[in-house]
Amino acid sequence: QKEVEQNSGPLSVPEGAIASLNCTYSDRVSQSFFWYRQYSGKSPELIMSIYSNGDKEDGRFTAQLNKASQYVSLLIRDSQPSDSATYLCAVNSPNSNSGYALNFGKGTSLLVTP
Partner 1 sequence: GAGVSQTPSNKVTEKGKYVELRCDPISGHTALYWYRQSLGQGPEFLIYFQGTGAADDSGLPNDRFFAVRPEGSVSTLKIQRTERGDSAVYLCASSLLAGVPTDTQYFGPGTRLTVL
CB of 29 to partner 1, least distance (A): 10
Instruction: Indicate whether 26 belongs to the interface with partner 1 (CB under 8 A).
Output: no
Q: Are strands 11-14 and 108-113 parallel, antiparallel or unpaired?
A: parallel
Site for partner 1 in 82-111 (CB under 8 A): 88, 90, 92, 94-95, 97-107
Grouping H, G, I as helix, E, B as strand and the rest as coil, residue 81 is helix
- In the bound state with partner 1, the residue whose beta carbon lies nearer, of 18 and 51, is 51
- In the bound state with partner 1, the residue whose beta carbon lies nearer, of 10 and 16, is 10
- For residues 29, 32, 35, 41, the Cα torsion angle rounded to the nearest 10 degrees is -90
Q: From 108, 113, 114, select the one nearest 11 (Cα to Cα).
A: 108
Instruction: Indicate whether 40 belongs to the interface with partner 1 (CB under 8 A).
Output: no
* Nearest-angstrom CA–CA distance, 80 and 24: 25
Binding site for partner 1 (CB under 8 A): 4, 8, 31-32, 34, 36, 42-46, 49, 51, 88, 90, 92, 94-95, 97-107
